[in-house]
């Protein structure tokens, strides 16, 4: 049986991610912070919630940043929510935090005073929102363009390379909802909270060979 490692660095909605992955396929799901187990896994997920400063502090303290750089090169790798933001070069949250740097670009805070059709938009952006398919990708298989996914975030990804943006959301402004590069894929939304489309994305991830 193939394995998928959900990286446990002390922060993240690990239980819900693991349960969704178990429901989406037949892989053995391992929630672990053990580098040896992570290196042996066939697929890897980096989840994350909370403040990026705290996430990156734990990621660096445990050497997860170097491990992620290593293992995401040669097998399917998925970053989710703050796990996506941690893959960028830098976040302006908490006064500015350097991140892992696998994707060029920065994490910005949604500006105050945003409006849409005369309605004030609250920050954080919380709830269901459409995701437009910018580029075709195996992880979009069976998921309609502009399907709705569940978001919870006050900060958004400003991609440094537009060719890596495979999904786009809009909340007062356009933002990168999904990025891809080689065997790496990352989502700002939470697939595990996104009903059938989220489970389909996880199923696609479990079936994906990492080529794009």
Per residue in 125-154, pLDDT (tens digit) is: 999 999 999 999 999 999 999 999 999 999
**Of the candidate ranges 19-23, 47-51, 85-89, 164-168, the one whose mean pLDDT is the lowest:** 47-51
Q: With pLDDT > 70 as the criterion, what percentage of the chain qualifies?
A: 100
211 part of a folded domain: no
Q: Is the pLDDT of residue 13 over 90?
A: no
Whether residue 197 lies in the annotated active site? no
pLDDT score of 191: 98
38 part of a folded domain: yes
At residue 68, φ and ψ (nearest 5 deg) are -65, -45
pLDDT score of 12: 76
Tally of structural domains, the chain: 1
Q: What residues are paired with 147 via a beta bridge?
A: 131
Whether residue 170 lies in the annotated active site? no
The residue-averaged pLDDT of 37-63 equals 96
Selecting among 55, 81, 99, 197, the annotated active-site residue is: 81
Would you say 47 and 14 are in contact if contact means Cβ atoms under 8 Å apart? yes
Give pTM, 2 decimals.
0.97
Domain coverage including residue 156: 2-205
CATH code where residue 190 lies: 3.40.50.880
Average per-residue pLDDT in the chain? Answer: 97
56 part of a folded domain: yes
**Cα–Cα distance measured from residue 146 to residue 99, given in angstroms and rounded to the nearest whole number:** 29
83 part of a folded domain: yes
39 part of a folded domain: yes
212 part of a folded domain: no
In sequence order, what are the residues at sequence separation of 6 or more whose Cβ sits closer than 8 angstroms to the Cβ of residue 187?
78, 79, 80, 81, 84, 149, 167, 177, 178, 201
Q: For 102-111, how does the pLDDT look when each residue is reduced to its tens digit (9 = 90+)?
A: 999 999 999 9
The residue-averaged pLDDT of 78-103 equals 97
Q: Which of 56, 46, 68 is nearest to 95 (CA)?
A: 56
100 part of a folded domain: yes
Would you say 51 and 85 are in contact if contact means Cβ atoms under 8 Å apart? no
210 part of a folded domain: no
pLDDT score of 172: 97
Would you say 99 and 85 are in contact if contact means Cβ atoms under 8 Å apart? yes
Selecting among 55, 93, 125, 192, the annotated active-site residue is: 192
Whether residue 27 lies in the annotated active site? no
Selecting among 27, 125, 153, 190, the annotated active-site residue is: 190
Q: For 116-132, how does the pLDDT look when each residue is reduced to its tens digit (9 = 90+)?
A: 999 999 999 999 999 99
């Amino acid at each position: 049986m193939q394995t998928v490692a959900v990286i446990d660095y002390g922060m993240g909605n690990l239980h819900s991610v693991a349960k969704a992955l178990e429901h989406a396929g037949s892989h053995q799901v391992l929630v672990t912070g053990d580098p040896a187990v992570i290196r042996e896994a066939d697929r890897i997920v980096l989840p994350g919630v909370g403040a990026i400063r705290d996430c990156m502090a734990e990621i660096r303290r445990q050497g997860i940043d170097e491990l992620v750089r290593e293992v995401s090169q040669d097998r399917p790798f998925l970053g989710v929510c703050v796990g996506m933001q941690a893959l960028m070069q830098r976040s302006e949250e908490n006064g500015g935090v350097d991140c892992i740097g696998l994707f060029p670009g920065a994490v910005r805070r949604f500006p105050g005073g945003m409006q849409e059709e005369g309605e004030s938009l609250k920050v954080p952006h919380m709830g269901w929102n459409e995701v437009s398919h910018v580029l075709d990708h195996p992880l979009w298989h069976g998921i309609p363009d502009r399907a709705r996914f569940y978001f919870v975030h006050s900060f958004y990804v400003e991609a440094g390379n537009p060719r890596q943006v495979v999904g786009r959301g809009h909340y007062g402004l356009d933002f990168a909802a999904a990025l891809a590069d080689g065997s790496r894929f990352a989502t700002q939304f939470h697939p595990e909270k996104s009903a059938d489309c989220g489970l389909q994305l996880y199923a696609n991830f479990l079936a994906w060979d990492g080529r794009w």
